[in-house]
Amino acid sequence: MKNFIRTTLTGRATLLSATLVATTFLASVFSTASLADYSEHPEAGAFVDTMVDDHQFDRQQVLTWLAYAQHQKSIVKAMSRPAEKAKPWHEYRKIFVTETRANRGLEFWKENRATLEKAELEFGVDAAIIVSIIGVETNYGRNTGSYKVIDALTTLAFDYYTYTEKRESRKRFFTIQLENLLLLAREQNQDPLELKGSYAGAMGWGQFMPNSYRDYAVDYDGDGFADIWTNPTDAIGSVANYFTKHGWKKDQPVATRAYIETTPSKEGLNKMKRPTATLGDLIAQGYKPVEEFAPDSKAFPMSFKAKYGTEYWIGLHNFYVIGRYNPRTKYAMAVYQLSELMRNRICESDQNC
């Protein structure tokens, strides 16, 4: 992904038609968002240049879209306190690892059995994990997000990570997402002002960011359109493709509960990086895994705040791959545990495990 942040703001157009300004003003009056015109924002000039110079967009068209994009205070608030940060594990778990979500997952599984079987064969990714991702992300398509993606990405790139929490790498990331949103909309012949998603700009059943949508979404029902907006078949293929491209290993374990008698070293704990230690190393440090796996398996230790005390777990390579979807240990653990809950339900009913 190339860096298009530039140091100059040359070529920046500032004039908008009177009609557009009037319409923008009216739109703002009737919106809960604060009045902001991103075409006038100091960060916009370099972005517009990139869209024009690198992607041959019409300058006035890009400025018009940015003029309609609105700063959303609720996004700034949500970004400051995401559930993964704010809630301890035992509360976070109650949102995602529930009987209701498992039952809905099993319904989704039943309705899409043939597609899931095809995806398992083709991509080597467990159906339980694919279903669980779609369940945790959007409750099986029920909640794909109600923010305009262009509002989310301009708010995050141009304001939140520029001023509120100044972080150049995140600002760059969200500016690249904005670039990809406009490219995606053009490729799909859609109006970028109409595309909806989460407060972070994630879209559709699998909550793909715009660059992931362009890189990993697949047309899995063969109608010529990779549609994760509304099509569960394409969503399943796309999630499976994402996992396989990020290194999922077929039929390999994800994680195991572990016990430890001493106080564990903080080193490497809860680090969602590609694991370099082995299970054998962790056993030597005093971890006692509940399930047995090959001692040379790559592994890393995790701790979770339970209602009473601390739970220890060992994440294996595939746990890290779940983290490539969202790099927080609580997120990946929720996906894993929901997948196990569904798998156990199937075992109980089919007696086929």
Contact between 223 and Ca ion (CB under 5 A)? yes
> 37 - beta bridge partners?
none
CA-wise closest residue to 163 among 154, 327, 264 = 154
Please report how close the Cβ of residue 166 comes to Ca ion at its closest, in angstroms. Answer: 40
Taking residue 122's Cβ as centre, other Cβ atoms within 10 Å add up to: 14
Six token digits for residue 336: 């894993």
3-state DSSP assignment of residue 151: helix
Q: Which is nearer to Ca ion, 188 or 303 (CB)?
A: 188
The verdict on whether 291 is a catalytic residue reads no
CA-based max dimension of the chain: 71
Q: Which stretch binds Ca ion (CB under 5 A): 119-127, 173-181, 225-233, 333-341?
A: 225-233
Q: Are 219 and 254 contacting, i.e. CB atoms less than 8 angstroms apart? A: no
Measured at the CA of 86, the angle between CA 80 and CA 92, to 5 degrees, comes to 135
Q: Which is nearer to Ca ion, 174 or 220 (CB)?
A: 220
Q: Which of 43, 120, 137, 179 is catalytic?
A: 137
Helix 44-53 with 168-187: angle, nearest 10 deg: 40
> Residue from 40, 84, 215, 219 that binds Ca ion (CB under 5 A)?
219
> Residue from 40, 84, 122, 221 that binds Ca ion (CB under 5 A)?
221
Contact between 234 and Ca ion (CB under 5 A)? yes
Q: Which stretch binds Ca ion (CB under 5 A): 28-36, 49-57, 174-182, 212-220?
A: 212-220
Please report how close the Cβ of residue 218 comes to Ca ion at its closest, in angstroms. Answer: 8
Backbone angles phi, psi at 148, to 5 degrees: -70, 125
N residues, the chain: 353
Q: Which is nearer to Ca ion, 222 or 309 (CB)?
A: 222
Please report how close the Cβ of residue 222 comes to Ca ion at its closest, in angstroms. Answer: 7
| Neighbouring C-alpha atoms within 13 Å toward the C-beta of 274 | 3
Q: Which is nearer to Ca ion, 134 or 254 (CB)?
A: 134
Q: Which stretch binds Ca ion (CB under 5 A): 230-238, 272-280, 331-339, 340-348?
A: 230-238
Q: Are 213 and 149 contacting, i.e. CB atoms less than 8 angstroms apart? A: no
Six token digits for residue 305: 């705040």
Q: Which is nearer to Ca ion, 37 or 227 (CB)?
A: 227
Q: Which stretch binds Ca ion (CB under 5 A): 25-33, 221-229, 247-255, 308-316?
A: 221-229
Q: Contact residues for Ca ion (CB under 5 A)?
A: 219, 221, 223, 225, 227, 234
Catalytic residues: 137
